[in-house]
Structure 1
């Protein structure tokens, strides 16, 4: 009787644990969806502002607002923004953040909204290529195949069948490479020290100072509504980064990363309703190749034999 009772308790605890894991997975998936909506909204504001103002004006103002939010949040949590280790890595991360912001600003100014996502979709693949030299994570042959397949998706964006990229595509590729380098360095810093607010604060401080140098030469008076858009951009950007951290806490990275490709759906909807842009068949095929290669990479990483090898 006693053994039977203990067995029933164990079964009940197991079911309760399974329900808790399921709830965490659902909440994590919901947070990923919120993240993709927020970051796509921020990108939409970038495209909107890019038509009337120079990049330094948008980034200097929005970075100042993000810094204020980070300082307030750090004070509320009692969390320091100082780094004990990884200062050189943080300096490089800040530099790449500035370069990525410039690249994406120019890309959104020159390209249809959904076209930029093809390059954003390459982020996980480029990160895999960078993870070997930067994070000492060797890349497997299957991963190289996935990278080549995803890179082939760019060919569907070549204008009028020419074997050359327009300036907007080159800017998007530049922004993706430098932005991915910033993300990979963020992972390296996180291994040394857990400072999530500092990871937001210092790159945005570098962006504000860099863009502030050019601000007197490009400043244009802003209407109240445009200032509201800039404030909205800053809040969406800060919120997206915070939500993504919570999502990755609840979901394994190999589950969260493919879900983030939902961003393409949001970008198509925003491009359609806000800018009257519909993606062509080439864009859809290119995105399918990039997203498919990402799932290929994830599936290979998630194989039971891979998990056993890592264990």
Structure 2
């Protein structure tokens, strides 16, 4: 009996839809981590959270790396890019911490809506990935959907708003650099390990000046935050290795939808028409980007296959010698 071969999907097809599931998981994990950040920021300074959480995340990452079968367990193929990503990771964490401390979730996440735009602008110079005009339409629609979620608008522009803007810019840069590293370095855990080692060391230098005693509940909050952060960032790096950076960053806006659902189911907050409209715009914009990438990859694969077939056919015709009595 002949062995049956199971149908297989192309790597890029798996990347588009597998990346979608990874981003949705990331949104759930990130929502929990952001809630803890907001709660913790009212009583403590940023170094106290990021020093301890960075150490925990780095330890979890190191243990996970040791369990891999890679011969170069802790060696990255792009050390300079990894160092640059770590720098932007630290800046992004500090900016968002300051923003979450002073602003409501609504105002902070309105700025996060612009992360896909930043990622799209940075994807071409860093990754050489051109953004098609269809994708620009989806990106603008997604950002517009975020504004629809909170139609009351922003308050007067303050330092906290500037922090939210810079957090979005540095966060988008770190995400694009993560995809750049993933092209050569397939060990996603290293992109979680080294940035957290960096933020732990930097915050440890500042911690003695701002440290406050913590209760058992505060310690549990830090551990929970670190655990959620470890899983979220690992999942995010995996998603960036499967999908284009601007697609992933736009799909991250699904986190708003999760927040609306949590507010309605747990806190009894009834979503307004604007919230529903904004959520629908984000969903359709994100789905369009995934479909656009999948169709582009599929057509590119077909064109490549047809080109190869045509090339082989031409070689066969040129090498075939005419038989006696036939016209060459």
TM range (shorter): 0.7 to 0.9
Cα contact 1:81–1:197 (8 A) shared by 2 = no
Q: TM-score when scaled to structure 1? A: 0.76
Cα contact 2:145–2:277 (8 A) shared by 1 = yes
Cα contact 1:62–1:234 (8 A) shared by 2 = yes
Residue 51, structure 1, aligned to residue 42, structure 2: yes
Cα contact 2:149–2:276 (8 A) shared by 1 = no
Superposed displacement of residue 186, structure 1:
1.0
Please name the residue that 2:317 is paired with: none
Cα contact 1:115–1:283 (8 A) shared by 2 = no
- C-alpha distance in 2 between matches for 1:229 and 1:36: 19
- C-alpha distance in 1 between matches for 2:154 and 2:28: 33
Q: TM-score when scaled to structure 2? A: 0.73
Residue 234, structure 1, aligned to residue 223, structure 2: no
Cα offsets for 1:176-220 (capped at 9, x unmatched): 110111111111111122232211111111111222222111111
Alignment of 1:29-48 (within 5 A): 32-48=23-39
- C-alpha distance in 2 between matches for 1:140 and 1:216: 49
Distance 1:143 1:260, change over 3 A: closer
Q: Where do 5+ consecutive residues of structure 1 fail to align? A: none
Superposed displacement of residue 135, structure 1:
0.4
Q: Which stretch of the first structure deviates more once superposed, 266-275 or 93-102?
A: 266-275
Aligned length: 296
Cα contact 1:81–1:201 (8 A) shared by 2 = no
Secondary structure in 2 matching 1:17: coil
Cα offsets for 1:121-169 (capped at 9, x unmatched): 4433422221100001122233334444444556668996679644443
Please name the residue that 1:69 is paired with: 60
Residue 213, structure 1, aligned to residue 196, structure 2: no
Distance 1:164 1:309, change over 3 A: farther
Please name the residue that 1:264 is paired with: 256
Distance 1:107 1:42, change over 3 A: same
The correspondence for 1:111, drawn from 103, 122, 126, is: 103
Cα contact 1:149–1:293 (8 A) shared by 2 = yes
Q: Which stretch of the first structure deviates more once superposed, 219-228 or 36-45?
A: 36-45
Please name the residue that 2:7 is paired with: 17
Distance 1:92 1:247, change over 3 A: closer
Superposed displacement of residue 52, structure 1:
0.8
Cα contact 2:16–2:294 (8 A) shared by 1 = no
Higher helix residue share: 1
Q: CA RMSD in A?
A: 4.0
Q: Which stretch of the first structure deviates more once superposed, 167-176 or 257-266?
A: 257-266
The correspondence for 2:299, drawn from 284, 301, 308, is: 308
Secondary structure in 2 matching 1:206: helix
Q: Where do 5+ consecutive residues of structure 2 fail to align? A: 305-328
- C-alpha distance in 2 between matches for 1:156 and 1:294: 16
Secondary structure in 1 matching 2:67: helix
